[in-house]
Homo-oligomer: A and B are copies of this chain.
Amino acid sequence: MSGVLKDAIRVERPAKTLRELALDKVREAIVNGYFRPGDRLVERDLCAQLGVSRTVVREVLRHLESEGLVANLPNKGPIVALLDIEEAKQIYEIRGALEGMAARLCAERGSPEIVAALDESLTAIRNGYRDSDMAAVLTNTSSFYQTLFTRVDRHVAWGVVNLLTVRINHLRSMTIKTERRGIEGPLQMSKIVDAIRRGDGEGAYRAAMDHVAAASAIAEAVLSAQKPAE
């Protein structure tokens, strides 16, 4: 049997442990609102719902806790973390600093491939708004920023941004639906791309900051309009 063939037919293992699958499921469930902020996450119930053992559930809860998606009340157990408006603003601020940094680096790199990739995501975002396909808007916004970070090899910063982003995910899906966001959002993002295209690091930095600041302002409005109602 040839070594080459052996490699060729090598079966791609799922490679995902049950724990990781469960982790994704629960995170997904929190992010998309199946579990609401404040909901208790009872271990044994989760076992039943996920069809896994308590060991796995507990590891998943620990992991989500360190991600900030789950909070652990002493002597009461884990709940879905509540999103504090102050915290949300700080998260947006951090994203601004990091995305601005990445945008500047992209501009300084001056690679046409980056601009092309960003344009592609941006077009997809515009189409998403046109078709009212908010899921598409979210995933392509994500890939827009992923490009920004990973094309200049800032994987750690991308990881941080991702970590923080899941915590404000419900906010993201709300801000995105805002009336004017469908126009202004892509406009601001295209300013980032333009600055990168002309190699304007400082402009790219500011454009990225502006975009996040706008998102933050909308989020604040949404949150403070919502909180009193509870």
Using a CB–CB cutoff of 8 Å, the interface residues on chain A facing chain B are 15, 19, 55, 58-59, 62-63, 65-67, 74, 86-87, 90-91, 93-94, 97-98, 101, 153-157, 160, 164
Contacts and interface: CB of A to CB of B under 8 A. Distances in A.
Say how many copies of this protein the assembly contains. Answer: 2
Contacts of A58: 55, 59
Contacts of A63: 62-63, 65-66
Nearest to A66: B66
13 contacts: A15-B74, A62-B62, A63-B63, A66-B67, A87-B155, A87-B156, A91-B156, A93-B101, A94-B98, A94-B101, A94-B156, A156-B164, A160-B160
Contact of A59 (B59, B98, B153, B155): B59
Contacts of A65: 63
A64 to B, nearest CB: 9
Contacts of A87: 155-156
Contacts of A160: 94, 160, 164
B154 A90 contact: yes
